[in-house]
Structure formats: C-alpha cells, structure tokens
Amino acid sequence: MSKFGVVMSRKCEICGRGTVSGQNAPRKGLPKKKGGAGVHIGVTTKRTFKINLHSKYIESNGVRKKTRLCTRCLRTLTRKAYLNA
Ligand SMILES: [Zn+2]
C-alpha cells in the first residue's frame, strides 16, 4: 500500500516505462586482468530493475495535477521549462 491509500502500478505517467526484469549474474574468481585464472559466472537468478519515480505537481491546461514521472521525463521537463523561460 502506498501512502496515498490506493495501490498504483510503478509506472511513469508520461512515457509509460515501468519495472523491467533481468538477471543477476554473480562473478566468481579473480579476473585475468588482475592476474587470476579468469572469472566464472555463478547461478543466475532473476531480478527486477525498478524505475526511478518521483511525484511532482505539473500544470497542464491550467489544471495542477500530481504526476508520477521518471527522472528522465523530469529532466526533459525542467530543460524545456529552462528553454522557454
Ligand atoms: Zn518517463
């Protein structure tokens, strides 16, 4: 449960990106670069990459609305605001 009282999917409301899955690959052994016999990959397990979300009030068509957006979109917005000012 989120602090807003409703369950929301972890997604950016602008670009729609969300959590993606990948693999954890533990490396064992000393790398050849460091004078070892080389590294071996251990048992790979599934992992998730969570999106870096932030909530921000955004004004569109004169309506101020709380929006959950990723840091990439946040950066784009601040850059656009800087260019327009
Ligand atoms: Zn986004």
With contact defined as beta carbons under 8 Å apart, do 58 and 1 qualify? no
What residue ranges do the domains of the chain occupy? 20-84
**Dist. CA 4 → ligand 1 center (Å):** 20
pLDDT average per 10 residues of sequence, the chain (85 residues): 65 94 95 95 96 91 91 92 80
**Dist. CA 12 → ligand 1 center (Å):** 5
Q: How far apart are CA 10 and CA 48, in angstroms?
A: 12
φ and ψ at residue 48, rounded to 5 degrees: -120, 145
**Dist. CA 36 → ligand 1 center (Å):** 42
pLDDT at 7: 62
pLDDT at 9: 86
**Dist. CA 79 → ligand 1 center (Å):** 14
